[in-house]
Each structure stands twice: as C-alpha cells, then as structure tokens.
Chain A
Amino acid sequence: MHLLRIALASLANRRFTALLTAFAIALSVCLLLAVERVRTEARASFASTISGTDLIVGARSGSVNLLLYSVFRIGNATNNIRWDSFQHYANDPRVKWAIPISLGDSHRGYRVMGTSTAYFDHYQYGHRQNLQLAQGRAFADDPFEVVLGAEVAEALHYTLGDHLVLAHGIAAVSLVKHDDKPFTVVGVLKRTGTPVDRTLHISLAGMEAIHIDWHNGVPARGAGRISAEQARGMDLQPAAITAFMLGLNNKIATFSVQREINEFRNEPLLAILPGVALQELWSLMSTAEQALFVVSLFVVLTGLIGMLTAILTSLNERRREMAILRSVGARPWHIGGLLVLEAAALAAAGIIAGLALLYAGIALAQGYVQANYGLYLPLAWPSAHEWSLLGLIFVAALLMGSVPAWRAYRQSLADGLSIHL
C-alpha cells in the first residue's frame, strides 16, 4: 500500500540509523536462534548418548559421577572394582550381557577405553542403534589392537594398519608414554554423535599388557621391563576394572538387581539406571541452559529498545514530514500507522538478516562444532518453535512501534498543519 511505500522511503532517507537498528535486531535474533538451536541439539544428543543399557555399575560414588566417566569420558573413577565382582554379575542368570570398562589412559587428548568384544555387540545409543564399523574389524586375540572412534580417526588422520602409542593418564599432554608397546589400528567405527566417537577402544588384555610391568603407578626400569613380545605370552587377565554395563533378560528385574548390587557384600558398588542419571545430569545443566536462553531474550529486548529509541528520537525532526502528510490528507491514524509500519519494516529486516546470519554461521561452524563439541547443528528450516519465537519478536516490535506511533498521533493532532522549522 501507499503508506508502506512512504514508510520505506522515509526509512531509506535515514538509512544509516535504520541499517544500524536493523543490524542490532539481526544480531540479537541470530543469538537467540543460535542458543535455541544449540539447546535443542544438545538436549537431543545428550539423551541419545546411551540406550539399551539397563544398569551401569561402578565403585561407590555419586550416580552423576559414574555416568560422567563411564559414558561421557569426563572425570575419573574414585576407585576400581574387582574383576571377580564383574564375573559374579556377568554370570548371573538374570543378566543377558555385560560389558566391562577400564579407563585411565589416553592418546593425544582422547580417552582410551579397555573393554571386551561384547561392547561392539551390545552397546547401543540413539534409538537403540548398535555400533557399526566403518572400516576393518573389532579387536581380536592380539592384545595390541585398537579400534578408533570416528572422530579420533578423522582428527588424527589414522587409517587401518597405523601404529600409535598410548599415554598414561588422561592429561592432554602426557609425559609418560607406553611407547614400548605400540598399538595397531584394526578398525574404525562409524560416526555416532556420542562420546564413542572420541574414544580409542582396546581389549582388556591390551590394557593389562601395557601396565603389566608397572608398580605403584610408575613404569619399571631396566631389567624389570617386559617387552610387548613377552607380554603376549603372559596371562593378561585384569585384576580390576573401572565399571561395567549390564543388559538384563527381563527389564522388570532391573530394580531388584540394582538393589542387590548396591548391597553387594564383597565390595562397595553402585548401580545406576542410565536414564535416571541422564535426567539428573540434564537438570543440573538445564539451569545454565535456561539462563542462556533468558539472557538471549534480554538481548533481543535490548535490540528492540534500540529500535524504539531510534524511532522516538527521529520523531521531533520529522514533525515537518508529519505536517506535510497531514496537509495532503493523511489523518492522524495514518501518521500512527506509518510509524508502526516503520517498526514492522525494521523488525522484518532484522529478523530476515538474523536468519541469514544464523545460517551463514551454521554453515561456517558446523564442521568445527561437530568435531570439537560433538554437536550436530542442522542447516534446517526453522522449527515451529523457532517460528513462534520469531513471530513473538515481530509482535513485540509492533507493540514497541505503537509507542512512537501513539506519540506521533498525539503530536500530529496538536501540530495540525503548522510546520515547525
């Protein structure tokens, strides 16, 4: 309509302020949507980290701690558990499968996990998806074989047959290396979007072999050393592991098995239900996540207040414009409408530019974020929720625009046709 044409032409006449205002709105919209998208994706990928596992068992500590080190490879176990405890439950008739986990070493910042082949058969993530090999095979009888997570292989450019040396401890820069016993890459897993991608998997025998000549946390020297060849011939049954995962034949038994493990007499153990612990952990993080959302809402509000200020300041110097419009027949509501249209145009430009910024940002950062944070940010159309947020921003802008509109309406009633120089 003609009023819109006048509003746009008037804005174009003040294009510098108008562009800045729209840019401020664009940045705030982009921030809000980015936070929203990261939030949604983080929650989704978080919930799909582990599935199909009924119980996770470790040394007695906190359930969140156990979940963090056994599933997310964050933090450390307070204590190990004995191999025979694992054996006791792995052979329980109610247990369908058991996966032992042994942690504590790393390779260039990525955690190493000692486990059994049961891991490749029974571990599930997402919607009950099994791990799949992209190349090669699972580790077999030789203790010095390693299967890489997708991200490890990609980031460190390892392919099948490569040799690598594990480091003792989990610091990114480790001074003590197991360089006398190199491992051979025999398999690479497909990408899962979970911490599995960032893990190197070796057999429990391999884990035992690299520590076989260690005593009290330090490697043996001189004659005490045992070479890889010698180790191959030795009994590599571990005495202790860090944790284990259980799948039960009957889900109904979960609680009774859990209680039984928690009351195990031989050793203090803790069994957790992964779903419950995930919930607990997420509720810890959701406070921060909600705070982030609220902050970005306030940034949007700031952007809109910037727009309000820009329009309000322009009003005084535009009294002449209003008087001219009145003299050619614009009624006061036209003047008010003009300013609401102006706010609408600024907000629309801001929202569109904000979306453009968001998509440009995602397109640029997608690979980096996935590699570093394991978060997949899709280049998808805005979800219904995001549309409703954008709609809300637009409506808020219109409401804000009605403030200067009302002032201009009053002003043009009072000024009439008289022109103030």
Chain B
Amino acid sequence: MSQPLIDLNDLTFAWPGQPALLDIPRFHLERGEALFLKGPSGSGKTTLLGLLGGVNRAQQGSIRLLGQDLAALGQGARDRFRVDHTGYIFQQFNLLPFLSVRENVELPCRFSRSRAQRASQRFGSVERAAATLLAHLGLADETLLARRADSLSIGQQQRVAAARALIGQPELVIADEPTSALDADTRESFIRLLFAECREAGASLLFVSHDQSLAPLFDRHLSLLDLNRASKPQEA
C-alpha cells in the first residue's frame, strides 16, 4: 500500500543512433507529494516526461506507476493508463483554442471513462465538476465557461489547464514549466492554487521547471542533472 506513486529504477534511454540521454538509477514520487524537479532545457526533461507518460519506451530498467510496470503494457493500454491516472499542464497554449472553456476542461473525461466516473461521483456530473474546479481556481464567472478558450488571458488559460489536469482526480499531475509564461505575482499564486487543488484531490504533483526560485515552495526538490548520470560527462 505504501509503495511510491512513481518508482523508476536503473532506467537508461537513448534516441536511436545517439548516446544515452538518460541514465537514472532511481527516482520516486510518493503519493500526495509535491516534487520540484529542476531541469534546464536539453537535460532530457521532455524525454523523461514522455517515458513517464508511456509515450516512449525505456531500453533498460523499469518504470512503475501505481505499481503497474509500464513496459508490460501495450501501446494502447499505456495510453489508456496515462489518461486514467495522469493530468498534464504544459508551458503555454495548453488549450484547444476553438473549443469553449468548459469543453476544454471536460476533455479528459471524454477519453477516460474512469475519470468521467470519478468526476461524476464527486461532483454529481462532469459539467458540475468542471464548473466547481474552475471556481476553486478563481474562474467562477459562469459566462466565462461558454467562451472560446483563446479569448482568455494567459493566466486564466493556465488555470483552465490546471482544472483540466485535475478533473476526474488523476493520482498524478505533471506540470511542465506551467508558469514560465506568467509574471512573478501570478506565478506564485498559481502554484499555491495548484497545491491546494492537488491536496484536495489527493493527487501527487510533479512540477518540472528550470526556475530554481520556485523550489522552496515544494515538499521536496531535485535536480535532473544530479539524478541523471548520463548528463554528468557532458557537464565536465
């Protein structure tokens, strides 16, 4: 029961025809934990997230998510497993601009039955879940829900993206530089909102950023450069 949410052991990965990009002896994320992972660009950050999302496959080592070995699943099953258990927030332009705010938030529930079920169980319906989450994230205005996603400010868009990542209570939220397009003030309040919502939903947060100044806000912080043995020789 107390096994970690992410349990990654002796992982190596290289793109075809290139030297090893990732060589990580061990990396883990506990349930309910908020972890800051510092990763400058080019450190293999995107690749690591791809591996955790089951999009890429490790050559060696194992990745266990919720105790499930990702390598043991086929492509389709990994896709399904990812949606059921992971919410994503990206740097910028996270939303489908041509859908409404509400439709954007509801998207994961359209592709994952278990997230739709959990959203309805907790809030009564998927629509209610979307509205409630948005309200918690400071977007309470009902008229806003029907507006096109690209009519919102960047800060609002990132909060919509957060609501989308959290809907249907995935166990893990992966945030990839979600604050880089925000200014300093909004940045911190966004992270605090994200924390509060993750805690309420019982989700772990894996927050990847190159901005060291945010690290003290988190339970624990790590640097991908320390973690990844493959990056050491390049640094020297």
**Chain A interface (Cβ within 8 Å of chain B)?**
2, 5-6, 9-10, 12-13, 320-321, 324-332, 334, 416-419
CA distance A241 to B80 in the complex (A): 89
Cβ–Cβ contact A13 & B98, under 8 A: yes
Residue of A328, A332, A334 most packed against chain B (CB within 10 A): A328
Residue of A10, A329, A332, A419 most packed against chain B (CB within 10 A): A329
Residue B82 CB within 8 A of the other chain? yes
- Minimal Cβ-Cβ distance residue in B for A9: B98
- Given A416-B50, A417-B50, check contact A329 B96 (CB 8 Å): no
- Given A416-B55, A417-B53, A417-B55, check contact A327 B88 (CB 8 Å): yes
CA distance A5 to B91 in the complex (A): 26
Residue B228 CB within 8 A of the other chain? no
Partner of B99, one of A6, A327, A332: A6
Cβ–Cβ contact A416 & B56, under 8 A: yes
Partner of B107, one of A320, A328, A331, A419: A328
- Minimal Cβ-Cβ distance residue in A for B52: A417
Partner of B108, one of A13, A328, A419: A328
Cβ–Cβ contact A416 & B98, under 8 A: no
- Minimal Cβ-Cβ distance residue in A for B95: A324
- Minimal Cβ-Cβ distance residue in A for B97: A13
- Minimal Cβ-Cβ distance residue in B for A414: B55
Partner of B79, one of A321, A331, A419: A331
- Minimal Cβ-Cβ distance residue in A for B56: A416
Q: Min CB distance, B60 to chain A, in Å? A: 20
- Given A418-B50, A419-B91, check contact A324 B96 (CB 8 Å): yes
- Given A320-B93, A417-B50, check contact A331 B76 (CB 8 Å): yes
- Minimal Cβ-Cβ distance residue in B for A333: B76
Cβ–Cβ contact B49 & A330, under 8 A: no
Q: Min CB distance, B108 to chain A, in Å? A: 5
Residue B195 CB within 8 A of the other chain? no
Cβ–Cβ contact B88 & A417, under 8 A: yes
- Fill in one digit per residue for B107-131: 1 if any A CB lies within 8 Å of its CB, else 0: 1101110010000000000000000
Residue B218 CB within 8 A of the other chain? no
Q: Min CB distance, B72 to chain A, in Å? A: 18
Residue B164 CB within 8 A of the other chain? yes
Instruction: Enumerate the 3 nearest inter-chain pairs by beta-carbon distance, A residue then B residue, closest first.
Output: A329-B83, A329-B111, A416-B55
Q: Min CB distance, B39 to chain A, in Å? A: 14
- Given A324-B96, A334-B111, check contact A329 B79 (CB 8 Å): yes
Residue B158 CB within 8 A of the other chain? no
Residue B12 CB within 8 A of the other chain? no
Residue of B46, B53, B98 most packed against chain A (CB within 10 A): B98
- Given A12-B98, A327-B88, check contact A419 B55 (CB 8 Å): no
Cβ–Cβ contact B96 & A330, under 8 A: no
Subset of 15 A-B contacts with CB under 8 Å: A6-B99, A9-B96, A12-B98, A325-B107, A326-B55, A327-B88, A328-B164, A329-B82, A329-B112, A331-B76, A416-B55, A417-B49, A417-B88, A418-B46, A419-B91
Q: Which residues of A contact B97 (CB under 8 A)?
A: 13
Q: Min CB distance, A8 to chain B, in Å? A: 9
Which chain B residues (184-203) contact chain A, with CB distance < 8 Å? none
Partner of A328, one of B46, B49, B98, B111: B111
Q: Which residues of A contact B50 (CB under 8 A)?
A: 416-418
CA distance A321 to B96 in the complex (A): 6
Given contacts A9-B96, A331-B111, 12 further A-B contacts (CB under 8 A): A5-B103, A9-B99, A10-B96, A10-B98, A13-B97, A324-B90, A328-B110, A330-B111, A331-B76, A331-B80, A416-B56, A418-B46
Cβ–Cβ contact B55 & A325, under 8 A: no
Cβ–Cβ contact B96 & A6, under 8 A: yes
Q: Which residues of B contact A324 (CB under 8 A)?
A: 90, 94-96
Q: Which residues of A contact B107 (CB under 8 A)?
A: 325, 328-329
Q: Which residues of B contact A320 (CB under 8 A)?
A: 93
- Given A331-B80, A416-B56, check contact A325 B96 (CB 8 Å): yes
